[in-house]
Amino acid sequence: MAKTRPGKRDVDSYAIRGTNKVVKAGDCVLMRPSESNSAPYVGRVEKIEADNRNNVRVRVRWYYRPEEAVGGRRQFHGAKELFLSDHYDIQSAHTIEGKCIVHTFKNYTKLENVGPEDYYCRFEYKPASGSFLPDRVAVYCKCEMPYNPDDLMIQCDECKDWYHPACVDLTIEQAKQLDHFICSEHGYDEDVKKPHKTPFNNGKAELKRQKK
């Protein structure tokens, strides 16, 4: 655990200016970016401290967006995906703009509605080496891509594998109307119907949408 520096004292919480929200160690926060037209930075508060003049600073562990990491944003990265880095900083608490929730990947896929404050993380990222943990994840479909929770997928009734509609020559609307699906490797019978689902979700498949 980081030690408090001379002239500093630990603070249990910090009230975000202009709001009724209180930040504590362990909370995830949105922080003002260096450029006004950029998305807010996302960090996890590790420690809060104040000096003798009551200036409050926070030690944060940064989350990176896919486009900020080596390799950039890829097809399987969801719009709300973040990577937990080993990059730490001390920042003025005044740069905190709000709170957010960084879910585990599995919990995120179970959300009924995805709000502006909802994000998820399934990888840790080391900026110095450009490496990820874990270094491999399950892949699905003919395209052999990891699951993107923003995308609709349908399950084959026979092999139980998951497919993107476009990869099996279906539109999103056609896929939503299916009651059953059998992939080309196991034959396709349009008269056989089965409710379709998405990975990690036992309900009817739907596209996840961000709240406006």
pLDDT in tens, 151-190: 999 999 988 999 999 999 999 999 999 888 998 887 644 4
CATH 3.40.640.10 is held by the domain 138-211? no
pTM for the predicted model, two decimal places: 0.81
Q: What is the predicted pLDDT for the residue at 179?
A: 85
Q: What is the predicted pLDDT for the residue at 3?
A: 57
Q: Where are the domains of the chain?
A: 8-133, 138-211
pLDDT band for 210, please (50, 70, 90 cuts): very low
Residue with tokens 């005044």: 94
Distances (CA, A) of 116 to 34, 65, 108, 212: 21, 15, 13, 8
What mean pLDDT value characterizes the chain? 86
In whole angstroms, what is the distance from residue 178 CA to residue 192 CA? 10
Say if 8-133 and 138-211 have the same CATH topology. no
pLDDT in tens, 189-206: 443 334 444 454 444 443
In whole angstroms, what is the distance from residue 205 CA to residue 195 CA? 8
Tokens for 89, please give them. 């900083």
Architecture of domain 8-133: Roll (2.30)
**Is the pLDDT at 119 greater than 60, yes or no?**
yes
Could you give the percent of the chain with pLDDT greater than 90?
71
Q: What is the predicted pLDDT for the residue at 52?
A: 87
Tokens for 105, please give them. 């990947």
Specify the higher pLDDT residue, 37 or 50. Answer: 50
Q: What is the predicted pLDDT for the residue at 1?
A: 52
Residue with tokens 């080496």: 129
In whole angstroms, what is the distance from residue 152 CA to residue 167 CA? 12
Residue with tokens 């349009």: 190
**Is the pLDDT at 74 greater than 50, yes or no?**
yes
Burial 94-120 (b: 16+ CB within 10 A, else e): ebbbebbebbebeebbebeebeeebbb
Of 76-90, 104-118, 141-155, 178-192, the poorest mean pLDDT is in 178-192
